[in-house]
Each structure stands twice: as structure tokens, then as C-alpha cells.
Amino acid sequence: MTIVRLGITMSVDGYVAGPNQSSEHPLGEGGGELHQWAFAVRSFREMHGMEGGSTGPDDDVIAESIRNIGATIMGRHMFGEWDGPWKENPPWNGWWGDDPPFHTPVFVLTHHARESLVMQAGTTFHFVTEGIHAALDRAREAAGGRDINIGGGADVVQQYLKAGLIDEMEVHVVPVLLGSGSRLFDNLDGGQLRYECIRVVCSSAVTHIKYRRAR
């Protein structure tokens, strides 16, 4: 059975990105501090073509999060190049180079149509203008029975949570204070109350809190 999953890192004061997101600061000012715990672990580094990295509970959580993923959905701000029509000279092909770490179909929610972008090692970006339900339908078909990962940013996550379309979510809370930026649990009309905590894993760098949609 396909499970729709979310894994996202949040500051202790509730932000998943810092203020003033731009091409120079894709995670907002200070937002890069949110993900230092992930860059330190082996599974994350392997996924991004890097060597080394630590093992332990944080690595175990990352390894579990990437297992059995058949498709990913993300917002345009996670893919990059901000709002408005797509630029052509040169075209924007994402933050990850020629070999993005997904190795599955990726569905990018956008208001501006664009031809699918085929990258190396099985990653193809498809640009969806019909909204979250259309993107999820296409991701289910592409996943072929495997799970679907919901990526950022905050607005996309909020839309899926509000609609009750995420089955499991794991929030990685890091001891960083950002003060402003994009908050995870805004604009939900209580949608987050559909979820119950099923696991807490702690390390010195981050606390992983896993939730499942209540039946």
C-alpha cells in the first residue's frame, strides 16, 4: 500500500525556512543551520554523492525516510527559481546538478507550465499546474505501489496537511532559533490535530517526532 510521507526539519520556534528566501539564501537567512544534523550523517551524504558521515540514531532515521520512495512532490520554491514565468537563458534545472538525489519521478507544483526535465539516474522533474490533488494522482501512478514523499516548502506541506492527504509525518526539531521565516503549522485550520505521535527519537543534535494520521 502506498503511504504518503512527510519528513521536514523545523527550528525549535516553529520555522522550516528563514526570512528573505532568495537564490543566494534558498532556505532563507539562517535557514541552512536547520540541516546541519542531516549533512553529518552517512545516509544523507551517500544520497547526495558525498563520502563519510556518522552512524547512529540520526542516520537510522534518514535511512528509513528514503527507503521505498517511488515519487516525490515539492513546491516551486524547493525546486528553485522563484515566482513568475520560467527563465530560459539559461534554464533553471534545480539546485542539485545533473544527478539530483531523488532517482525517481518528482512532481513540482507551479503556476507556470514547463516541459518535463529528464536528469540522470532516474530523476525526472514534471511540472504540475493543476494543484495538489492532480500532483498526488500522478505521483501515485508513477510510484507503482511504493511510497510518496512530500517535500517542501511550507506552503505545499500546509496544503497537503490541511487536506488530510499525508499519512505519516516526521518532524525533525533542531535547537535553532530563527525568529521569523516560514512556519510549518500555520494556515491549517486544525488539520494537524488529525495526527497522533507514534515515536520520538532523540540525539544531541535533533529530536525526531513521528506522527501518523489517526484513523
Please tell me the distance from the alpha carbon of residue 182 to that of residue 178, in angstroms, as a whole number.
10
Query: Amino acid identity of 54?
Result: S
The structural domains of the chain, with segments of one domain joined by +, span: 4-213
Check whether 81 has a pLDDT greater than 80.
no
Check whether 83 has a pLDDT greater than 90.
no
Tens digit of pLDDT for each residue in 48-57? 989 999 999 9
Q: How would you classify the pairing of strands 195-202 and 207-213?
A: antiparallel
Q: Which three cell numbers stand for residue 171?
A: 518532524
Residue 32 confidence (pLDDT) = 92
Q: Which CATH architecture has domain 4-213?
A: 3-Layer(aba) Sandwich (3.40)
Residue 80 confidence (pLDDT) = 86
According to DSSP, the residues that pair with 107 across neighbouring strands are 73, 126
**Burial class of 65 by CB neighbour count within 10 A (0 to 12, 13 to 18, 19+):** buried
Q: Cell 510549518 identifies what position?
A: 184
When pLDDT is cut at 50, 70 and 90, the band that residue 40 belongs to is very high
- Alpha-helix residue ranges (DSSP H) falling in 24-171: 36-39, 42-47, 57-66, 76-79, 132-143, 154-162
Q: At what angle do helices 132-143 and 154-162 cross, to 10 degrees?
A: 90
Q: Which three cell numbers stand for residue 4?
A: 504518503
Tens digit of pLDDT for each residue in 89-124? 889 999 899 999 999 999 999 999 999 999 999 999
Q: Which helix (H) or strand (E) holds 200?
A: strand 195-202
